[in-house]
Amino acid sequence: MEATNKQSAFAIWISLISNIILTALKLIVGLLFNSQVLIADGVHNAGDVFASAAALISMVISKRPPDKDHPYGHGKAEVIGAGFIAIILVLAAVYMGYHSVMALMEPPHTATLLVLGTAAISLVWKQWLYIYTMRIGKKANSSGLIATAYDHLADVYASLAAVIGIALAMLGDHYNIQILKYGDPVAGIIVAYFVLKLAIHMGRSSIDVLMEKNIDEDRMEEIMQLVQSIPEVKRIDRIRAREHGHYMIVDVRVGIPAELSVQEGHDISRKIKQVIMDEVPNVEEVLIHLNPWYKDHKSAE
């Protein structure tokens, strides 16, 4: 676990430093050569700097142990950080879309190899960051890291559209094809669409966790089968599970034979908790309520 936490922190720092470098590179080249898609992508990267910082802070908070004020832990700090990243992406998408549309109203600007090369460097760099960050994020089950990975994926879309748009603009300049000369701002509009779509997906995921939506049906079915595997469990009265950032909390209410002693009921509870925590990854807490079960199937809850 300690090694995973270190890998997560390292991945966030790599993302933060990379976003600072790419922001500076895109804005400088974009402003020098008046490339709307590169400027828009640079502004998007500037938002990524704040997003990476938010992910780093939220991840540090989420790793704190439970305390008196937060008995269930601080795991949702990462979810809040992911929601913040989604908001930044929405703002970036609106900014990119607006300025790209405005660029269509102006005479097209000349595209250059340096602008194309900058976009290509960003594409390769961000693709590597996406793969690396997503791998570590899934390994650590970190909402903040996975959100950061999706942020890198949005940059991959942006850089790919920029490369295509700038290349088309260069072809338009070379062969004097007027419509292709607007490849740069058109690419900016396409980028804005994909970034907005991704931001909405991330925002919904964060809201689902904050509203304590049940986990997916496959994992719920797995937990139910584990509970039913305990011989003394005669009936499952209720079962719920929710994400709490990088870990899960499970609530189980089961019926066991009424004639069992309190000690025996306690031992059954421990069995249920142990089998769930052993077999289901990332379960931090299992809350169990026992109901008396009678052969006539009546129970007193």
Tokens of 211: 């509203």
At 3 the pLDDT is: 64
**CATH superfamily, with its number, for domain 217-293:** Cation efflux protein, cytoplasmic domain (3.30.70.1350)
Of 1-5, 71-75, 219-223, 230-234, the poorest mean pLDDT is in 1-5
* Cα separation, 186 vs 45, whole angstroms: 19
* Cα separation, 15 vs 12, whole angstroms: 5
268, pLDDT greater than 90: yes
Q: Which of 4-8, 200-204, 274-278, 297-301 has the highest mean pLDDT?
A: 274-278
* Cα separation, 45 vs 145, whole angstroms: 17
**CATH superfamily, with its number, for domain 2-210:** Cation efflux protein transmembrane domain (1.20.1510.10)
At 223 the pLDDT is: 92
Domain ranges of the chain: 2-210, 217-293
* Cα separation, 264 vs 232, whole angstroms: 10
Strands 248-257 and 235-243, sheet pairing: antiparallel
Exposed/middle/buried for residue 176 (C-beta within 10 Å: 0-12, 13-18, 19+): exposed
Spatial CB neighbours of 50, under 8 Å, sequence gap ≥ 6: 88
* Cα separation, 18 vs 12, whole angstroms: 10
Q: Which of 108-122, 165-179, 180-194, 271-285 has the highest mean pLDDT?
A: 271-285
37 or 298, which is more confident: 37
C-alpha torsion 216→218→220→226, nearest 10: -160
Rounded to the nearest integer, the mean pLDDT of the chain is 82
* Cα separation, 90 vs 195, whole angstroms: 7
Give just the sign of the alpha carbon dihedral 253, 260, 264, 233.
negative
At 299 the pLDDT is: 46
pLDDT digits (tens, 9 = 90+) for 95-119: 878 877 887 887 776 778 888 898 8
Residue located via tokens 């790919």:
160
75 or 221, which is more confident: 221
Classified as helix, coil or strand, 71 is coil
